[in-house]
Chains A and B, each alone.
Chain A
Amino acid sequence: MEGNYYPLLKWILLPPLAGFIANGLGGKKFLGEKAGGIIGSAAIFVSLVFAALSFSDLLNLPADHRLLRDTFYTWISAGSFFVDAAFRFDPLSAVMALIITGVSLLIHIYSTGYMKGDAGCNRYFAYLNLFVFFMLVLVLADNPLVMFVGWEGVGLCSYLLIGFWYEDPEKASAGKKAFITNRVGDAGFLLGLMLLFSLLAAAGAPAMDFASLEKNAPLLASATALGMAAPTLICLLLFFGATGKSAQFPLHVWLPDAMAGPTPVSALIHAATMVTAGVYMLARLHFLYELAPKALEVVLLTGCFTAFFAAVIALLQKDIKKVLAYSTVSQLGYMFMAAGAGAFSASVFHLATHAFFKALLFLGAGSVIHGMRGEQDMFKMGGLRNYMPHTFLLMAAGWLAISGVPGLSGFYSKDLILEKVFEHGGRWVWAAGVLTAGLTAFYTTRLVILTFLRQPRTSSSHAHESPLSMTLPMAALAVLALGGGFLLKDSLLVFLEPAAGVGAGINPHATLLMAVSTGAGLSGIAAAFLLTLPGPAAFLKLTLAPAHALAFNKFYVDEIYGLLAVRPLKFISGKLLFKLLDAGLIDGVMVNGTAQAFYKAASSLRRIQNGRLDHYALIFTLGVAVMLYWII
């Protein structure tokens, strides 16, 4: 084990925390809006510098010994359960830390322009810094429990930032929905960890750090739980946690609502970083999943279904951010497809490229919304390329990258995933993936057409271009979205290999597969240009009305949950348990009923003591008679 004390790790973690404290305590009164933004961004910059320094130290180590650790202290220790507050920096953590700090820095800078003039500016940067801190805790953690600290912490920040404009009750409840949906997933995560711990502890190996887990995981191979192999159950439970955080079906419902938050937040938390935590977790625990091929099948199918399902919903959304939200759900599905096929490095590769182009698209959308003074309905836009030329060009880079145009970042990572899925043997899954690639190209192209191209509809004419503080970070992301895939395609996979395990070998059909998926992307783009013309659009809407309604209403998943889960629980909570059982039966009948019974009994007995001597004499005589009878 290399370097049990690596001093730089804490300097990656601490600056965002310090930034949070400064902005949280200093606030508007002492810091003011401008200083708040500068401090917030500077904190992330320092963190990025230390992440880069640690990265170069890591590169200097031999390839199969790349691990830097720092144990702060023993966090929890009781009985056989002990967990250190410990952090690790290995290739997987390094990639994540660099993506997080890099993208965060750009989005912080962008935010200084976007949030200008908002009364809660300091609060905003405080939350955003705190988010980055927890996200770094999540990816640098050396054991699942510390990871869980980050895991729930980012959920908290997401809650706070979605409901940032808390005076709007709808936004506040979107935040609550996100937190609670995540918590449902987190329960699965914790349950998986509990099962893992109890089995390992029973086998005499209760250590919970990742290195020990990897070493001891084979002990679980023969164990069974609930009639299935223990690793399968553990992995399924952990994956349930991942579906919550990474918005996979059936827990995807919170992410579209999360768009209520400020747009840079959507770019950072709900596209580039937090929602990828589930993918990261699978890659981190790949050694467990490799023991559980059945669980991987579930991951593969869930990812595939979610990718397709969300892409279909994205086809018809009117709100520019909703399109991107469903697109994110869909792209995360791709990452899980890769993980399900055992290609964890490919999933992390797509995680990286997606972070670039999706953050870019969101920031572009933010720029549009900013320019349109808060308008998010694409049907009220159009022709914006004339008014916001920079935003248009930058967003076009993101559009082409996600559509899988050859040479751009989305092309490489998506192609690799589809190739791995094909190799894995999932022909149908592969076909669905290719179809989804076509749909992806379609809805993104539709977004660009409706927003930027053709004739202005309604209020587009007073749109204005965004300031440099917003367009420059977008430009940086655009460079990454265009060239990142090409740059990373080999080096990243080689770098990750020892940590995440990459399937080796060249596929003989690689070129053919690539041609098919590229063809799907390009035809998606062409179809979008054709079908968004007024004639075909109206025709389609008319002929496919029921399907249109179904997809437009997101397949009514929210409504189904309301009907099947929320309302029955509410009924059980209020009417059944509280009114009937608690207040009625237990308190009413049992407690107060007993009291009443005593009271009644006492008041009837009281009647005997009425003070009339003749009655007393009668009872006395009766008593004596009974006693005499008894004795004789």
Chain B
Amino acid sequence: MELLTNPLSLIVLLPGLAGLMLLAVPEHRTKAVRKLALAATLLTLLAALKLYAEFDAAGSMQFQFSLPWLPAYGINYTLGVDGISLLLIMLTALLMPAAVLASFSSIKEGQRAYYICLLFLESAMLGVFAALDLFVFYLFWEGMLIPMYFLIGIWGGPRRVYAALKFFIYTMAGSVLMLVAILWVAAAHHAQAGTWTFSMPALYGGALTAGAQFWLFAAFAFAFAVKVPLFPFHTWLPDAHVEAPTAGSVLLAGVLLKMGIYGYMRLAVPLFPAAAAVFAPWLAALGAFGVIYASLVAWSQKDLKKMVAYSSVAHLGLVMLGIMSFEPAAVSGAVLQLANHGLSTGALFLLVGILYERRHSRMIDDYGGLAKVMPYFSAVLLIVTLSSIGLPGLNGFVGEALILFGSFRVYPWLAGAALAGVVLSAVYMLGMYQQTIFGPLRHEENRLLSDLNAKEWTYLVPLLCLMLLIGLWPAPVLKMVAGPVNNYIALAQPQSTAHALELK
């Protein structure tokens, strides 16, 4: 029964168990279904908060828990969190109730199945962040795919089947390569040490030849690059976002996109440090290029969700630059930016969902002059927009500044280029804001739009508060991730430890 008494294991299992319980609720009792789903996500959030309260920011892996599973192959159900994974677990637990609440009025068909999918998805996401065993990690990783596929494919927009299939195949292509690489690594360890293990720490920095590392890293890197998504592997994202229901978009942007970066930090780089050192400048360059590229593409979007999707590509490009610079400030900033992006982009999708629910359109042209009819909505959208473009005082700035200042010491040209993308973010985000919120009310239909209701305030206010809090006082997060960030850099052991400034 340690499965349920270990606080970490409990968090991972709780949503999934609640999902199973939902099966017992008769399908037509939709109100009970919704309430139970909300209660489950709130309980998970509470458990995550408790975990945070008991977490020791100075320590390393905590709440470790291991259960032998397939002992013959050294496969154990091992969980544990450090500051980075805890941060992402908190983010997931925070966004889930918002996603559930936002679905209350927008999902009308097949509600029970819908909430079961959401809850299974939550368990899988939390599992990915908690797993310390490669095999278990892979199971959770693939496990995420299925509920997400259904969420897009069943409850999505008009082109949902295309988008869901594209999402599925794209990600599958990556994870199949990853599976091969995982088995290869374990087999190589077996050949060398004579024992089977899938434990991540045991496999870190294994004595693989440089050639093997190169290909294995490439396999992992591809799987994670799709997930990030790194230019040019990003085209599944806009389609998936556009077609996904609001909750799907929120979780896709808020949590799933973090897994690519998490994968690099937890697996690809520490498992194959020699190859990582070779790949790092290229990945950093792709990230920096992606910032400019995606910002420019975002500027031309007429669909709100597509624009936010491209802005995500830009933001995560910057994060990529951060983690590939192996500089403490930049990597800390990148990890913080994962949370920031989850908050601000999650909130953006929630806000777009609020508009869509009222007006059934995501086209920027269908709005205009909303400040007049929805003043509170406009104020909230402004704060979220400013958070997304990194206005100092809000959360986005702290992450961006750390990434830029830190990575400038390693890749001055790339950081300088990425800065240009930061300017562009103001261009497209404020352009969008101006066209939807300012100006005269161009469409009669918009005259009667109602402002935010109590339910919407409930899930927006915590996000807004966190944006401001992290912007003014990021110390708790930065302290929490400092240790793991240093571990990551130590494991990476890049050849370029000397931060010689190339400008000199």
Contact = CB atoms under 8 A, between A and B. Distances in A.
Interface of A: 73-81, 85, 145, 148-149, 151-153, 156, 159, 163, 166-169, 172-173, 175-176, 179-180, 183-184, 186-187, 190-191, 193-195, 197-199, 201-202, 223-226, 569-570, 572-574, 577-578, 582, 586-587, 590-591, 595
A179 B426 contact: yes
A176 B296 CA distance: 17
B372 A74 contact: no
Contact of A76 (B391, B398, B420, B440): B398
Contacts of B330: 79
Given A172-B434, A202-B499, A167 B405 contact: no
Contact of B406 (A79, A159, A577): A79
Given A80-B328, A81-B406, A586 B296 contact: no
Interface residues of B, number: 62
Contacts of A223: 504
B232 A169 contact: no
A586 B393 contact: no
Contacts of B332: 78-79
Given A78-B478, A573-B297, A586-B232, A180 B439 contact: no
Rank and list the top 4 A-B pairs by shortest CB-CB distance, nearest first.
A79-B328, A78-B332, A79-B329, A172-B438
B427 A180 contact: yes
Contact of B393 (A153, A163, A179, A202): A153
B466 to A, nearest CB: 17
Contacts of B323: none
22 contacts: A73-B475, A80-B329, A152-B391, A153-B391, A169-B438, A172-B439, A176-B431, A179-B426, A187-B422, A190-B419, A194-B415, A195-B412, A195-B503, A198-B412, A225-B503, A570-B300, A572-B296, A577-B296, A578-B296, A587-B235, A591-B166, A591-B235
A153 B297 contact: no
B149 interface: no
Nearest to B482: A78
Contacts of B440: 167-169
Contacts of A172: 434, 438-439
A578 B232 CA distance: 12
A590 B333 CA distance: 33
Given A76-B474, A172-B439, A582-B235, A191 B416 contact: yes
A159 B406 CA distance: 30
Nearest to A583: B235
A193 B415 CA distance: 12
A578 B371 contact: no
A582 B430 CA distance: 23
Nearest to A167: B440
Interface in B298-336: 299-301, 327-330, 332-333
Contacts of B503: 195, 224-226
Contact of B475 (A74, A569, A573): A74
A197 B407 CA distance: 11
Nearest to B389: A183
Contacts of B419: 187, 190-191, 194
A354 B202 CA distance: 69
B362 interface: no
Nearest to B386: A156
B401 A76 contact: yes
Contacts of B297: 573, 577-578, 582
Most chain A CB within 10 A, of B427, B437, B485, is at B427
By secondary structure, the B interface counts as helix
B398 A166 contact: no
B300 A574 contact: yes
A195 B408 contact: yes
Contacts of A79: 327-330, 332, 406
A578 B478 contact: no
B414 to A, nearest CB: 12
A151 B409 CA distance: 24
A552 B494 CA distance: 59
A176 B300 contact: no
Nearest to B295: A573
B293 interface: yes
B235 A573 contact: no
Given A198-B408, A202-B501, 15 more contacts: A76-B478, A78-B329, A79-B327, A79-B330, A81-B405, A149-B392, A152-B392, A159-B430, A169-B439, A194-B408, A194-B412, A197-B408, A223-B504, A577-B297, A582-B235
Given A78-B333, A80-B328, A80-B329, A184 B393 contact: no
Interface in B393-419: 393, 397-398, 401-402, 404-406, 408-409, 412, 415-416, 419
A223 B170 CA distance: 48
Interface string B466-477: 000000111100
A184 B393 CA distance: 19
Contacts of B405: 81, 193-194, 197-198
A573 B236 CA distance: 19
B423 interface: yes
B304 to A, nearest CB: 15
Nearest to A163: B438
Contacts of B166: 591
Contacts of A176: 430-431, 434
Contacts of A190: 401, 404, 419
B296 A569 contact: yes
Contact of A187 (B392, B397, B420): B420
B16 interface: no
B263 interface: no
Contacts of A595: 169
Contacts of B482: 78
B435 to A, nearest CB: 9
B369 interface: yes
B379 to A, nearest CB: 8
Contacts of B423: 180, 183-184, 186-187
A582 B233 CA distance: 10
A574 B428 CA distance: 12
A167 B438 contact: yes
Interface in B143-197: 166, 169-170
A110 to B, nearest CB: 26
B235 A73 contact: no
A167 B422 contact: no
Contact of A179 (B235, B300, B329, B430): B430
B338 to A, nearest CB: 14
Contact of B409 (A156, A198, A574): A198
A166 B415 contact: no
Interface in B416-467: 416, 419-420, 422-423, 426-427, 430-431, 434, 437-440
Contacts of B371: 166-167
Contacts of B504: 223-225
Contacts of A74: 475
Contacts of B296: 569, 572-573, 577-578
A203 to B, nearest CB: 10
Contacts of B427: 180
Contact of A149 (B300, B327, B393): B393
Interface in B354-412: 369, 371-372, 386, 391-393, 397-398, 401-402, 404-406, 408-409, 412
Nearest to B412: A198
A199 B391 CA distance: 25
A80 B333 CA distance: 12
Given A224-B504, A582-B235, A577 B293 contact: yes
A173 B392 CA distance: 22
Of A195, A199, A572, A582, chain B has the most CB atoms within 10 Å of the CB of A582
Nearest to B296: A573
A460 to B, nearest CB: 31
Contacts of A226: 503
A340 B420 CA distance: 28
Nearest to B391: A152
Nearest to A123: B375
B441 to A, nearest CB: 8
